[in-house]
Chains A and B, each alone.
Chain A
Amino acid sequence: MSFRLPHWLSRISVQLLAFNVLVVFLPVAGVLFLDTYERHLLEAQERTMAQEGRLLAAAIEATDQILADDARRILVQLGGRHLARLRVVDRDGRLIADSARLGPRRQETTEDLPEAPTDDAPLLYRIGSAPFRALRRLSEPPTDQPVDTWEPASFLDAPEVRSALEGRYGATTRISPGGQRSVTLYIAIPVRIDTVVEGAVLVSQSTSRILEALHAVRLGVFRVFLVSLSVAVVLTLLMATTIARPLGRLRRRAEAILDRRGRLRGSFEPSRRNDEIGELERALAELTRRLEEHLQFTESFAADVSHEFKNPLAAIRTATEMALEVDDPADRRRFLGMIQQDVARMERLLNEAREISRIDARIDEEELESVAIDTLLENLVDAFRMRRANRGPAFTVALADRDVRVTASADRLLQVFENLLANAVSFSPPDGTVTVTLRLEGGQAVVTIADEGPGIPEEHCERVFDRFFSYRPDGRDDGGHSGLGLAIVRAVVEAYNGTVTAGSRAGGGAKLTVRVPVASPHRS
């Protein structure tokens, strides 16, 4: 059985809540420090009590005998200007004076007062201190001291009094009566008259004041804890709404965008948020947009290819019909020649379409080498001259820089410049000149190929690189162009981080410019 969280309390929200609440608990651990503080306070109280006891003992010693009346007189003279209960016990453990029995005092002994819990929020204190009380009970073993009713039958039973009567300092603690958590501290000081212990002074005081003070501190810490806890919970829920919920929305949107057959349907709306989630949303929107663009491109390419095939196919079909119907052998030969021409064109179209798909898909995987463009251009132009056997346009090559190397596949570069040259030749008048230049410019090899043909109208300068776009001014359509040559050029050049642009040659004609970054000289 799986436990399902409500949708607004996502996993991220739970984690945030856990962290925040943990942080709130950290200061609470500081409360443990209060125990050390408590010990210091108790030691201070014991020292104060010992001081008072010694003063009383000294006063009694000054009378040279231990008499109930003298002791009582001294206590009266003290007039309650002491915090602890002071008692004087003789050598036999009999009580001879007690500050608590001297009638009304300015200050009541505290150990007999019930330790009333402070009346503001006692329940709160009990809840908050419960773990600490439990902890203390566990860590402190129970003492074997009898729970003393305050008036013992004989003070000789009290170990601290016995110790004092034996001439030593005695101290002990007893749990305060009345079921309180406070204890009462007892110390006994020997009273020596002529170096003989004649009695003892017993000083007792409850630790309840200390505990009260600590109680107040603990209560304060607990209040701070409660406030922090609620603030943490509220903050976490707020964070959940600003982080987890938009993320959940993004996820649902992402799931909705792909249909069951894995096709893209719709897109992310660009977000106006300024935070990281907004950035994520925008990145996803951009991703889907690019993906959609690519899919559309692929789709339209397939449609374009099929469309481009239909023209030669239509020509072949009509020519076939005609070839079958005509009787004149010259006509028939003409139609068969047409068929041959269009079959060749379809073949070229197929090859170039496959070529351009291959460039799109795999040019990154092709092996690159350092290619000297100047040598490549010279060899290519020589090949063109030979191929055309001095018919058609002349070629001039102007290389401003030598040994211009780019990192590329030599075959691909050859393809680029062959297409550009063939293009220039096809537009060039037979007595024209095709000019090829090469120069270095800002870390780029710049190659221009210009012809003296009709040129490219301004509005087509960008479109000539589109797939299947073919601009053939009147009478120049020999049907031999797939409209892919320049598209292949652009695909290759852009794969090598270069650019190719079309423009006009000064004095008429088209000029195509290729810029490719040169190979860094450190690499061979």
Chain B
Amino acid sequence: MGTIAIVEDEQNIRDNVGFALKREGYQVESYPDGLAAWEAFERALPDLAILDIIMPRMDGLELCRRLRSLSQTLPIIFLTSRDEEFDRVLGLELGADDYLCKPFSVRELVARVKVLFRRLSLVNDQHGPDEEELLEIGGLVLDLRRYVARWRNDAVPLTVTEFMMLHALVRRPGHVKTRQQLMEQGYPHDTYVSDRTIDSHIKRIRKKFLGLDPDFDRIETVYGLGYRYTEEPDR
């Protein structure tokens, strides 16, 4: 088990999330603003950080940037309340591992925390993954244990949510997944996610693939229905 830092200026949210994580057996440290958290982090890093974005004294983005200067691997989850913050938060330069939009489900948050801890513990695992834990379609390989995706041997820096959505698409190539289905897959415990959120996730997944391969076009939009992963596009 590990130590989780919650940095959030809203006291009730801080208390609720802390309560839920403690019930799962995690150590919880909470801070009301970025600067207070940073002063503590300089002495000792937590094992995972949950950051609000808009906070007095130092905001979550700045705190994330500083954390990354200390550790590249520390899992970071953002809690956002503004739609337009998504792009900035998930900009690869910040390197957040996942994010949830307020009002989020605390169960969803706990599930993400667990996934990130699992991914972290497997990074240093010398054993290769078992065959059934690898999903391979064309040039794409999904490591279902580690939540890591590779495209033609390059690691794609997907967040946990993005990985789960891509997994849902790839599991049955050529079949259309509705936004509702993708939402259930990406947010198993959350029922308040909007279609637009799904669209922006897909957009971001495509962007991350295009960053590695400018010709990537496997994720198709099916108008009026949803999205589809094509195994071998007609050329």
Q: Which residues of A contact B (CB under 8 A)?
A: 303, 307, 310-319, 321-322, 331, 335, 338, 341-342, 470-472, 474-475, 477-479
Contact = CB atoms under 8 A, between A and B. Distances in A.
Contact of A303 (B16, B82, B102): B82
What are the 5 A-B residue pairs with the smallest beta carbon separation, nearest first? A315-B12, A318-B16, A310-B81, A314-B103, A314-B102
30 contacts: A303-B82, A307-B81, A310-B102, A310-B103, A311-B10, A311-B81, A311-B102, A313-B103, A314-B10, A314-B104, A317-B103, A317-B104, A317-B106, A318-B13, A318-B16, A318-B17, A318-B20, A321-B16, A321-B20, A321-B107, A322-B16, A322-B19, A322-B20, A331-B19, A335-B16, A472-B56, A474-B33, A477-B9, A477-B10, A478-B11
Contacts of A472: 56
Interface in B60-97: 79, 81-82, 84
A471 B56 contact: yes
B210 interface: no
B12 A341 contact: yes
B16 A315 contact: yes
Contacts of A318: 12-13, 16-17, 20, 103-106
A472 B32 CA distance: 11
Nearest to B192: A317
A322 B103 contact: no
B36 interface: yes
A233 B12 CA distance: 80
A486 to B, nearest CB: 16
Contact of A315 (B13, B54, B56, B107): B13
B209 to A, nearest CB: 31
Contacts of A478: 11
Interface of B: 9-13, 15-17, 19-20, 32-33, 36, 54, 56, 79, 81-82, 84, 101-107
A241 to B, nearest CB: 47
A interface secondary structure, majority: helix
A338 B101 CA distance: 20
A322 to B, nearest CB: 6
Given A311-B10, A322-B20, A477-B9, A317 B82 contact: no
> Which of B9, B13, B54, B104 has the most chain A CB atoms closer than 10 A to its own CB?
B13
Nearest to A476: B32
Contacts of B107: 321
Nearest to A339: B12
Nearest to A304: B82
Given A303-B82, A472-B56, A474-B36, A338 B16 contact: yes
A471 B16 CA distance: 23
Contacts of A338: 12, 15-16
A411 B184 CA distance: 51
Contacts of A315: 10, 12-13, 16
Given A311-B81, A313-B102, A314-B10, 10 more contacts: A307-B81, A310-B81, A315-B13, A318-B13, A318-B105, A321-B106, A338-B15, A338-B16, A470-B56, A477-B11
A479 B10 contact: yes
Of A307, A312, A314, A315, chain B has the most CB atoms within 10 Å of the CB of A314
A314 B56 contact: no
A316 B56 contact: no
Contacts of B10: 311, 314-315, 477, 479
Of A307, A313, A470, A479, most buried by chain B (CB within 10 Å of CB) is A307
Nearest to B109: A318
Contact of A477 (B16, B32, B36, B104): B32
A480 to B, nearest CB: 11
Nearest to A317: B103
A311 B102 CA distance: 7
A338 B10 CA distance: 12
Contacts of B19: 322, 331
A40 B106 CA distance: 114
Which interface residue of A318, A470, A474, A477 has the most chain B CB atoms within 10 A? A318
